[in-house]
């Protein structure tokens, strides 16, 4: 009788980090960075909406939009993303709303988390499980993922903004963040 080895493609990595990383904490005085892409106008609208609330709480906000990921443009993009991460205290990375966008969102979120930043990836509901799967395969199974409804991008701005509003406080919870000292103490 021959003995064989069966490989399990779903095995966890030996070097997996199941920690979500540091909480964002009190946001006043911090620099919050939103990572955007070229695809999802709904994510642009929601991130702008959340940025206004972060600013009202005393945070600074900046945005970085990803671009090409191969060749010279990919090298430039990676260098710019590194500089962006060096300029912020908290990373909010989105939007995981299709297969490749989920891959790049999670990859960029893992990069931010590995940089030591409180990091949250944002995904739509249809890509939540995929985002967690990619995070685990990338060695960060504990990555924070906040989930928005799907479909989202196909909606009009006036229909998307109430979604952003409804998800603002849950997003703060996912981030481990607070807007005021009172909330932070609680």
81: CATH: 3.40.50.10140
- Using DSSP, state whether 62 is helix, strand or coil: strand
Q: Which of 101, 92, 87 shows the shortest CA–CA distance to 119?
A: 92
Sequence-ordered list of residues with C-beta below 8 angstroms from that of 44, at least 6 positions apart, any chain:
36
pTM confidence score = 0.92
- Considering the domain boundaries, does residue 5 fall inside one? no
- Considering the domain boundaries, does residue 52 fall inside one? yes
Considering just the CA atoms, what is the radius of gyration of the chain in Å? Answer: 17
State the pLDDT confidence band at 4, using cuts at 50, 70 and 90: confident
Query: Alpha-carbon distance 96 to 120, whole Å?
Result: 12
Boundaries of domain holding 121:
25-185
- How many CA atoms within 13 Å lie on the side-chain side of 75? 2
pLDDT tens across 98-150, in order?
999 999 999 999 999 999 999 999 999 999 999 999 999 999 999 999 999 99
Task: Give the count of beta carbons closer than 10 Å to the beta carbon of residue 51.
Answer: 18
Tally the domains of the chain: 1
**H runs (alpha helix) in the chain:** 41-56, 71-86, 99-114, 128-137, 157-175, 181-185
- Considering the domain boundaries, does residue 17 fall inside one? no
- Considering the domain boundaries, does residue 137 fall inside one? yes
- Considering the domain boundaries, does residue 18 fall inside one? no
């Amino acid at each position: 009788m021959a003995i064989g080895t069966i490989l399990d493609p779903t095995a966890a990595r030996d070097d997996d980090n199941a920690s979500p990383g540091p909480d964002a904490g009190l946001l006043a005085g911090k620099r919050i960075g939103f990572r955007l892409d070229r695809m999802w106008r709904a994510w642009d609208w929601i991130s702008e909406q959340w940025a206004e609330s972060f600013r009202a709480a005393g945070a600074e906000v900046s945005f970085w939009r990803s671009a090409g990921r191969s060749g010279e443009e990919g090298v430039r993009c990676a260098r710019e993303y590194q500089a962006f991460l060096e300029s912020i205290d908290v990373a909010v990375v989105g939007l995981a709303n299709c297969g490749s966008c989920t891959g790049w969102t999670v990859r960029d979120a893992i990069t931010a988390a590995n940089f030591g930043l409180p990091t949250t990836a944002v995904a739509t509901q249809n890509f939540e499980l995929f985002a967690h799967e990619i995070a685990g395969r990338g060695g960060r199974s504990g990555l924070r993922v906040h989930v928005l409804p799907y479909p989202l991008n196909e909606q009009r701005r006036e229909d998307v903004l109430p979604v952003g509003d409804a998800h603002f406080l849950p997003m703060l919870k996912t981030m481990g963040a607070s807007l005021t000292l009172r909330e932070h103490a609680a």
